A and B are shown apart, each in its own frame.
Chain A
Amino acid sequence: MTTALIFLPVSGALLVWLVPMPRAWVGSTALLVSLAEVALWIAAVAGFGFGSSGLQLEDRASWFSDLHVSYHVGLYGFSLWLVGLTAVVLAASVGYACSAGRDRPRAYYGLMLLLTGAIVGVFAAQDLLLFYAFFEAMLIPLYVLVGVWGGAGRIDATLKFVLYTMAGSLLMLASIIVFGLSQGTFDLVDSGTSGSAWLFLGFAFAFAIKAPLFPFHGWLPDAYRESSPEVAAVLSGVVSKAAAFGFLRIAIAKFPGPTDDFRLPILVLAAIGLVYGSLLAFRAPDMRGVIAYSSLAQMGLITLGLFAANDLGFDGAVLQMVNHGLISGALFLLAGSVERRTATGELSRLGGLARGRPALATVLLTVGVIALAVPLSSAFAGEFLILAGVFRQGWIWAVLGAGSIVLAAMYVLRLISAVLHRGVGRAVPEQTLDLRPAELGILVPLVACLLALSAWPAAVSEHSFAGDRPARDVASGFRAPGEELTAKGALP
C-alpha cells in the first residue's frame, strides 16, 4: 500500500513522459494521477489502524545486505497525515498549474508527479539511507521546477535553495553513515538510539535548513518569491514538513540524550525564528514575502512543539504541520491568482480587490483568518497544543508564542487589507475577474479541508500517535508495546 502511494505518482510521471499524447491531455492526465493519489490515500486512511501502535502498511525488501540497507517503507499515524497533506497539496498545485497553463507541459507535470512520489517517500521511508535518497530526490525535480518555470530571479534562487539544502543534507549523510554503521543497520525501526551529539547536530542542521529555522533561512525569501506559485505552495506547504518529520522521526526519536542537551538552543532558535519571521512578514513588501516569512515563523512554532518533547507538543506539532501545509499552500495559490490578474504581488500596488469579487475576497479572508490562528480555527488548535506543550518547558516560550499570535494578526490583516480593501490599487485593472470556477475548484477543497479540520482538529491530533501518550510513543521509537528491539542487523 505504501509502496503504491510512492510509486503511483512516479509511474504517472513515466506515463506522462513516455506515452505520446496531445499536449492538452498532459495536464489533465497529471491531475488525474494526483487525484488518484488522494483517493489511494483515503483508502489507506480507511484501512489504517489508528488505535494500534507500530508501523503499518509496511513493505520491506533488501536493497544491499552487507551494510544492512533495505527498502523499508511504512506509515505511522503522523506520517499518514503528512502523506495526505502531500497528496492534497500536490493535487491542488497540479490543478492550479493546469488552470494557469505551463510551458513544456510534459516536462513540467512529469516533474510534479515525480516530486509527489519523492515527498511521499520521505514520509514513508523507514530506512535511513532510503530516507536520504528520497530527501535528495525531492531536490531533483524542485531544482528544475523552480529554475525553469520560476520568475526573473529564478536562477540565483534555485542555486541558493539547492546549495543551502544540500549543505545540510550532506552533513546529514555523514551522520547517517556514522549512525548506520555504528548501529549495524540503517533501518529506523531496527536501530536503537544514540547519544552522540555530533550525529544529532548533523541531522538537526539538515532539518534546520530544510525547515528552515532561523538563521538558516537565507534561501527562503528568494525561493518562495521566484518559484511559480504552485511550486512555492509545495515548497512551503509540504517540502518544509519533510524537515519537521525528520526532526520527529529521526532527530528526536533516535537521539533522546542530545535532544535533551540541545533543547534550549533549538528552542531559542525556533522562538527567534517565530518572532523574527513574524516581524519580517509584517514588513515584507509583497504577498509572497509575507507568506514566506510567516512560513518561517510557523516552522519555528512547529519546532517549538516538537522540542517541547511532550504529549501536547508532539500532537500539536503534527496538527500544525498539516494546518500550515494547507494554509500556506492555499495562500501561495491565492497569491498566484492575484499575481496573474495584476502582474504584481507588491502590496503597495494592490488593493480594493474585494469589491465585486466576492469569491476571491471570501476565500482569501477565510484562509487568512485561519492563518492568523483565530480561535476555533485548526491553526489555533495546533498553536494551542504546541504552546501548551512548550509552556511546560518554560513560560517564556509560550509567552513568545502568544506574542507571535498578536504579530500574526498584524501581518495577516495587513496582507488582507492591502490586497482586498482600501482604494483600488494602481496595478489592479478595472475589469479584473473574480476567481474563476477552475481556481475555485482548486482552492475550495483546500479551504474545505481547513474548515473540516477546524471543526475537528482532534482528527489529526488524536490520531497521530499510538494511544494517549505521544511522548512515550516517540521515546519507544514508535514501537508497539512488547515489540522489542530486534537486533537483526547488529554487526558481530
Chain B
Amino acid sequence: MLLASFGNFLVWVVWIAAAFACLGSGVAVVSFTNPFYSALALIGNLGSLAVLYLLLAAEFVAAAQVLVYAGAVMVMFLFVIAYLGGQADAPWAGGPSWQTIGAVGAAAALLVEVVVAIGLKAGGRLSDEADVRRSFGGPAQIGRLFLTDHLLAFEITSVVLLAAAVGGVVLGAHARRGEWGSAAPERRRTT
C-alpha cells in the first residue's frame, strides 16, 4: 500500500519532470532564433516525450521514439541545418502584427477549447483508465497488431517512406537549368 503510493509519488515526480521538460523544450523550439538550437531543443522534447510514453506503458513506442525519431530523423535535420547555415529569424521582432495576434489568438483558442473539452469529459468518465496486461505496449503486442489487424497500415507506412525517399532524391538532385521564359525560348531557338 505504502509502496504503491510511493510508486505513484515517484510516477508523479517523473511525470512532472518529463512534462515540464517536454513543454519547456517545445516552447524553446518555437522561440529560439537559431534553427540549430531549435533542433536541439526538439531532441530534448522527443526524449522527454519518450519518458511520458514509458509512463503510459508504451515501451516499444518510447524506444522507437528515441531511436528513430530523436536519433535518425533529428540527425538528418541537424545535417541540413549545418549545411544551410543557421539563418536566424526573430519570432517576436517588429512588434505584434496582425499575423502574430492572430497566431497567438488562434493557438490559445484551440488550446482552451480542447482543454475545456477534456475538462468537460474528465468531469464525466475520463479519469478511470482501463486495466491492461503487462505485455501491453510491448514489442510482441505491437508486432502482432502490425502483422494482423493493422497489416495494411504497416505496409502503407513503408510505401510512404519509400515515396519520401524518392522525393528526397528528386528534390535534392543537382540539376541546373534556366527559369521559365528565359531558358525555354532559347532552347527552342537552338533546335
Asked if A and B touch directly (CB within 8 angstroms), the answer is no
Interface set of A (CB-CB < 8 Å, partner B): none
- Interface residues, chain B, CB within 8 Å of chain A? none
